[in-house]
Amino acid sequence: MAAADVVVPTSASSALFLLDEPEHEIQAYALETLNAMADSFWPEISPYVAKIQALSEDKSFSSSALAAIVAAKVLFHLGELDEALEYALSAGNLFDVTANNQFALTLRAKCIDEYIRVQIKRFEVSASTGASSSRDADALAIPAGLEQVVDRVLDDCVVRGEVREAIGIAIEARRLDRVEYSLSHGCTSSSERIGALKYCFDCVQGIIAHRAYRHDVLKLIAALHRKEPEPDEVAIARCYAFIENASGVAECLFRLLEACGESKKSRSELFAYQIACDVYDNDAPHFAQKVAALLPAISREDDVSVDSFSEPDMRLVKLRAILSGIVYSAYALEFLYSENHSDMFIMQSMKSTLDNRSSLNHSALIFANSIAHAGTTVDTFLRENLDWLARASSWSKFSATACLGVIHSRHATSAMKILSPYLSSTPGVSSSAYAEGGAFYALGLISATSGSADQAGEHGRALLYGSGNSYTKDPFSATKYLLVGLREASSNEIIQHGGCLGLGLAAMGTWDGSSEENEIYEELKGVLFSDSAVSGEAAGVGMGLVALGSGSEKALDEMIAYARDTEHEKIKRGLAMGIAMVCYGRENEADAVIEKLASESEAILRYSAMFCTALAYAATADNKAVRLLLHSAVSDVDNDVRRAAVIALGFVLMRHPRQVPRTIALLAESCHAHVRYGATLALGIACAGTGLPAAIEILEKLASDTSDFVRQGALIGLALVLMQHSEARSSKSAEARKLFQKMYSDRHEEAMTKFGAVLANGFIDAGGRNATVSLLSRSGHRRASAIVGMAMFVQFWFWFPFVHFIALALKPAAIIGLDSELKMPMTEVKVNCRPSLYAYPRNGPLHKSKKEDRAASVVLSITAKAKAREARKAQGAKSTGASDAAMDTTSDGGLKNGAGHDAKAGSAGDIEGKVAAMGVSESKPPKEDTSYTVSLPARMLPDQEKYVVWPANGRFQPVQSGLNGGFVMLLDSTPEEEAIEHVKTKTWTYEQATESVPAQPATTEDSLAASSAPQPDSAREPEPPAAVFYPEDANTSGNSGT
């Protein structure tokens, strides 16, 4: 039988007429009909929407839910989304959230957004006020049906296997119960749950702005990991590290050590060491030391050799050595020294090009050299240019001495050997206040990057440096030395300036604000209260460093009160940054301080509010913080505040570098030069090492700005963005280098722009071309000292010596493999990419393309006639034989052609002709390999890690899969084989480290004699440079002028 023809309705009028009938059954039938055709005939139904709404609100009408869904559909098509959502929610189960149509998809998304908005507001209000009043309770009420709809959406996601979508919604909506439900009901295997938990951890960093709630989610993730059959202790420890739960991390380490027992080379042992490496890499102030202090005590603390320790005790010694930072510092120093690829040609070229009579140029080159060789201990440029270095005077001398702290970062074992020539042997008497103050500053920089030898203990130091080493027996304490030095320099504000900076760096983050007083903080406060502009500025910074991230109300009240009272602008600026450092990482807890400072009439205090926001909300991308900074950037009346507000955006958004160019783009086009300058540094900070084309495009445009200081900032920002980028990886890298060279060599360029170009050359080759600015750890944790170092670096606008703080932000880009003995076994990894992609840039003069060859010069007629005569003479000389026409070498080493002209003086065409005559033709470069192998330790950039492959049949494999960079603990797959061959270190040997020298100053003659001694063999690092004798040293003592 033939199927009946389908009747397609052409109008909704018949159903609309039925709505006027008094019987509810007829009205219900009409609504069913309208519900089916509402998406097509909504224009015809819309005049009756008021009638339908009335039916939905009629409590006596049994089909009110049906009327509500019809009204919702019509209102949706009319564009009234808020009303449509209200009626859809009142429709109950008739609102099918699983339907795949425009109406359901749009209202479902709006429903989720509204629910998340309400939940966030409830969470914030309840956290701040407790929501105790009835008015608060009414304001926090969730609209009827909203939560049920969201629950149905989440259930549908779980049923369809969209677990990550459900987790993302639940986390944003502050529904931890639904997070746990989605994981338990949506994941069918342990591997799926582990993957989902890892996704939860990534969400925590990317979408949660509230600090307390972030901690709650991390606690839940750790608890869910613990419920797994084989808990991932590394992931659990990472969660505890983010919430700064030292006891939780220590428990993870203890469980792994217990699992080892008396066995040797256990997998659990290596996992414990990997956790310890990650904890220290997070760079939280003294958090690693808190973890170490919670570990079990060693059973034998007496003077016995580590070789006689039991396996459990030896593991504790190794863990403490890692957590103290001496292992990290020693191997980072070794890598930067042995793999140094800095280009001395660039430094010598800048020195010969710049006007050395300018103190600004002199300081710029000192800064650039220290950044280019940061952490390498390579001071060849200083050795070879002692006469040039001695021209430094006053504060330039201070900076020149302090640069040793950047070059010798992490070199704590030889800190006093390097700096003793500049330190006074008689308390209170100094031959050069500027040199001694700079040495104090340098000592703080070295100490801040070297870990804590005291925390490692004698056995930990012996494990690394050898038991016969004097540093092992009695390690030098920079904090104690600087504290004594600061007290003895009470009459000299210059030495106090360096002492305060050095002491603050050496004791960074040691006071959490819980105790009433801290000796170092109180000493710095005493210097501040002396009301000396020079020493007071450094004291304010030092106080902030000591109380870094503590949020101490006592410290904040004292610093803000003194900043309001003092008349010295330098002290106000020092305190402005000190206050910001106390607020580091406090997020919403710092809101009260930020609001108070932002409303001050004093511009410097508003400036402090901008950096308080930058450090308190660093890497959070918090909307409230971004709004405050954008508002200040365009509305504040002070240039410094507007500039600081834009720079602060780089700190807040640095976790999402791809969003920054879009956010900064309009500010970079501002008519206000200080705003444009801020945009350059914000891009450099947030996009450091990324090579983002969008950021480069903005910076290249600003590099030709009309304002000299904007050009300066653009060059520095460009160098930061292109750090570690080869020409093959980014063609803009070579162009940027040529731009820097053009800027600093142009005699007509402004001094400030030249300063930026010279610094840019240092940044783009930082750490011997092996380091990069890294403000986040590998696990996504904010690196406190790095962020502080970058925040202080940008203060060079007011005070050039602050440039040296950048040493805190530089981190080796390396892969360093360690075995269970904490030594580097000889092993290789394969990198599946072209070698040129991540190769070091060429040393020497910059390569010029054919397009850049010099255009032919205009030839005058008289010159043409002279050349014609010479050509006729040369033609006559051919009778002497064809051999005379061949190329010869002149006495000065240049090439001479048959006509008697030096080839090097000829045109490019002449040279190409000679090359062709010799039978050499330009050929295409050989085909490049698609993979290569590197021996560890090796340079390994973050973007390069995805190409790393560990040999399947290799003896050593990473204990944590997927870890291809940083410090990697290696598992020996064949421990029964022959003894392991380890990499020979050059900065120290495993058996016996370089002896440290007592802190006694040497005379200038002794230092000069040492510099002329034979160079050490390849197994030792070079000696420190000879001490510089500054011409005015003989006339400078006591309190030097500023």
Distance CA 652, CA 641 (A): 16
pLDDT < 70 positions in the chain: 1-9, 127-140, 261-265, 299-308, 426-430, 467-470, 847-861, 863-865, 872-925, 988-1042
Token pair 């010479």 is found at 870
Distance CA 328, CA 999 (A): 25
Give the model's pLDDT for residue 16: 82
520 SS3 class:
helix
Give the model's pLDDT for residue 912: 42
Token pair 């320790």 is found at 309
Residue 986 has, within 13 A of its CA and on its CB side, a CA count of 19
Give the model's pLDDT for residue 188: 84
Give the model's pLDDT for residue 709: 95
Query: Quick one: 517 exposed, middle or buried, by C-beta within 10 A (0-12, 13-18, 19+)?
Result: exposed
DSSP letters, 217-286, are HHHHHHHHHHTSSS--HHHHHHHHHHTT-HHHHHHHHHHHHHHHTT-SS-HHHHHHHHHHHHHHHTT-TT
- Across-strand partners of 889? 895
Give the model's pLDDT for residue 1031: 52
User: Domain segments of the chain: what residues?
Assistant: 13-95
Distance CA 471, CA 460 (A): 12
* CA angle at 486 for the pair 481 and 488, rounded to the nearest 5°: 95
Residue 570 has, within 13 A of its CA and on its CB side, a CA count of 14
Number of residues that make up the chain = 1042
Reading the block at residue 635, the tokens are 């509305």
Give the model's pLDDT for residue 132: 46
Cβ(152)–Cβ(111) below 8 Å:
no
pLDDT tens digits, one per residue of 561-580: 999 999 999 999 999 999 99
Cβ(335)–Cβ(374) below 8 Å:
no
Give the model's pLDDT for residue 1034: 42
Distance CA 661, CA 596 (A): 30
Give the model's pLDDT for residue 565: 93
Which amino acid belongs to residue 965? G
Residue (of 452, 283, 356) closest to 810 by Cα position: 283
Reading the block at residue 787, the tokens are 């962020």
Give the model's pLDDT for residue 988: 65
Cα separations (Å) of 829 from 331, 929, 948, 953, 972? Answer: 19, 16, 7, 11, 15
Distance CA 958, CA 676 (A): 46
